[in-house]
């Protein structure tokens, strides 16, 4: 059996670990792995070739994805998806391992439903915003990258007695922001799922901190926050309304890169191997995840469910611990 492997959407640390494991597991079972470059766009362009086991040497510790990635808006067109299915058929590829996030899995679910393509998904996104799994590839690395950066920023905040607003990634999810805020001891966090009065609560929190003698603060802001706005907008509002001495730092794409953490390497390896083993047994239309420490498989149709939100107690915990 020929098994295609592609990475799609935003890159995430640990993707290379998953590619490596999928390719080498396929080889051990007597299957032929094919690398599809630049995600679904590369599939449409026919940018694919056999991927032997040794082609994956020395990639486990590398960030990004050796298969490269792209976003393919054209894939929303049913005619384009039909063309993609024909490309797979012409190449003799009978199954597809898709490493990516929400959009990548939705495309895979559509390929399965419309054209019967046997798809297996591996959750690769720093946003950690997929239903049915507690973990996604890249989240742990991105979290540690953000925390390390904020630890450095706090040194300057303390020295100058200043407020810093630090924007982290996460698309429309607050998972990365909330976990970062707890791990770095932030005074507050703003994220898409925050209550509607989150900006007012932030101002109250900062005022109370000042009265208690706290002269520096870190506020983590999710890039997708629809209530308070992104960090620059929040900063301008605080300057205008309260004349606060503050600085804004946007961590941006630095969170995507770098060597993956041990956890992302381990789960990438486990999921890559398991995806191929399940395809070898004839399973199709699933994506893998982790729930309470156990490896699980979910039907691809679950990707159509609402995205998970950060547990409410985590947001409240940030304020409690900042006292």
**DSSP-derived 3-state class of residue 32:** strand
Buried b / exposed e across 34-62, counting CB within 10 Å, b at 16+? Answer: bbbbbbbbbbbeebbeebeeeebeebbeb
Identify whether 314 is part of a domain.
Answer: no
Q: Is 79 among the residues known to form the active site?
A: no
State whether 51 and 110 are in the same domain.
yes
| CB 135, CB 128: distance < 8 Å | yes
**DSSP-derived 3-state class of residue 48:** strand
State whether 162 and 99 are in the same domain.
no
The annotation places the binding site for ADP at 20-24, 154, 185-187, 211, 214-216
State whether 58 and 36 are in the same domain.
yes
Pull the structure tokens for residue 227.
Answer: 């209530």
Q: Do β-strands 32-36 and 163-168 pair in parallel, antiparallel, or remain unpaired?
A: unpaired
State whether 10 and 124 are in the same domain.
yes
The annotation places the binding site for ATP at 10, 71-72, 101-104
Residues 66 and 55: their CA atoms lie apart, in Å, by: 10
Given the residues 127, 129, 140, 225, select the one marked as catalytic: 127
**End of a domain among 256, 287, 313?**
256
> Which CATH number belongs to the domain containing residue 14 in this structure?
3.40.50.450
Beta-bridge partner residues of 118: 95
Identify whether 120 is part of a domain.
Answer: yes
pLDDT tens digits for range 42-71? 999 999 999 999 999 999 999 999 999 999
State whether 60 and 163 are in the same domain.
no
For residue 227, what pLDDT is reported?
A: 60
The annotation places the binding site for Mg(2+) at 102
Domain count, the chain: 2
Identify whether 312 is part of a domain.
Answer: no
Return per-residue pLDDT of the chain as tens, 323 residues.
999 999 999 999 999 999 999 999 999 999 999 999 999 999 999 999 999 999 999 999 999 999 999 999 999 999 999 999 999 999 999 999 999 999 999 999 999 999 999 999 999 999 999 999 999 999 999 999 999 999 999 999 999 999 999 999 998 999 999 999 999 999 999 999 888 788 898 998 888 888 888 889 999 999 986 566 699 999 999 999 888 889 999 999 999 999 999 999 999 999 999 999 999 999 999 999 999 999 999 999 999 999 999 988 898 899 889 87
State whether 224 and 267 are in the same domain.
no
Task: Identify the sign of the CA torsion 20, 21, 27, 32.
Answer: negative
For residue 159, what pLDDT is reported?
A: 95
State whether 105 and 44 are in the same domain.
yes
**DSSP-derived 3-state class of residue 110:** helix
Identify whether 315 is part of a domain.
Answer: no
Is the backbone of residue 130 left (phi > 0), alpha (psi -120 to 50) or beta?
Answer: beta
> Which CATH number belongs to the domain containing residue 212 in this structure?
3.40.50.460
State whether 82 and 130 are in the same domain.
yes
Pull the structure tokens for residue 152.
Answer: 């450095």
Identify whether 189 is part of a domain.
Answer: yes
Identify whether 243 is part of a domain.
Answer: yes
The annotation places the binding site for substrate at 125-127, 162, 169-171, 223, 247, 253-256
| CB 282, CB 118: distance < 8 Å | no
State whether 81 and 157 are in the same domain.
no
Identify whether 222 is part of a domain.
Answer: yes
pTM over 0.75: yes
State whether 10 and 125 are in the same domain.
yes
Residue 109 — φ and ψ, nearest 5°?
A: -60, -40
| Residue 42 domain boundaries | 2-138+260-304
pLDDT tens digits for range 182-217? 999 999 999 998 887 888 989 988 888 888 888 899
For residue 228, what pLDDT is reported?
A: 63
State whether 72 and 120 are in the same domain.
yes
The annotation places the binding site at 10, 20-24, 71-72, 101-104, 125-127, 154, 162, 169-171, 185-187, 211, 214-216, 223, 247, 253-256
| CB 263, CB 140: distance < 8 Å | yes
State whether 130 and 12 are in the same domain.
yes
Identify whether 313 is part of a domain.
Answer: no
Residue with tokens 């909330």: 178
């Amino acid at each position: 059996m020929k098994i295609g492997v592609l990475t799609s959407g935003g890159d995430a640390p640990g993707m290379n670990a998953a590619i490596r494991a999928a390719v080498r597991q396929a080889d051990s079972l007597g299957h032929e792995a094919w690398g599809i470059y630049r995600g679904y766009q590369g599939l449409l362009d026919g940018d694919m070739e056999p991927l032997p086991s040794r082609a994956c040497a020395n990639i486990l510790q590398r960030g990004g994805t050796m298969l490269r990635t792209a976003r393919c808006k054209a894939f929303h067109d049913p005619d384009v998806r039909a063309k993609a299915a024909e490309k797979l058929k012409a190449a003799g590829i009978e199954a597809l391992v898709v490493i990516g996030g929400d959009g990548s899995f939705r495309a895979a679910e559509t390929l399965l439903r419309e054209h019967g393509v046997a798809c297996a998904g591996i959750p690769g996104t720093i946003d950690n915003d997929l239903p049915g799994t507690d973990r996604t590839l890249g989240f742990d690395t991105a979290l540690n990258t953000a925390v390390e950066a904020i630890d450095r920023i706090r040194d300057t905040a303390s020295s100058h007695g200043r407020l810093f607003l630090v924007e982290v990634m996460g698309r429309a999810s607050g998972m990365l922001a909330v976990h970062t805020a707890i791990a770095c001891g932030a005074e507050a966090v703003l994220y898409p799922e925050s209550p509607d009065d989150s900006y007012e609560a932030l101002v109250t929190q900062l005022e109370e901190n000042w009265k208690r003698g706290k002269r520096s603060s870190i506020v983590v802001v999710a890039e997708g926050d629809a209530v308070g706005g992104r960090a620059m907008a929040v900063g301008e509002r605080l300057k205008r309304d309260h004349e606060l001495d503050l600085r804004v730092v946007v961590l941006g794409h630095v969170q995507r890169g770098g060597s993956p953490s041990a956890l992302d390497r381990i789960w990438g390896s486990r999921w890559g191997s398991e995806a191929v083993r399940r395809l070898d047994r004839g399973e199709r239309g699933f994506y893998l995840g982790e729930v309470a420490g156990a490896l699980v498989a979910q039907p691809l149709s679950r990707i159509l469910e609402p995205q998970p939100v950060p547990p409410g107690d985590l947001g409240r915990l940030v304020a409690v611990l900042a006292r």
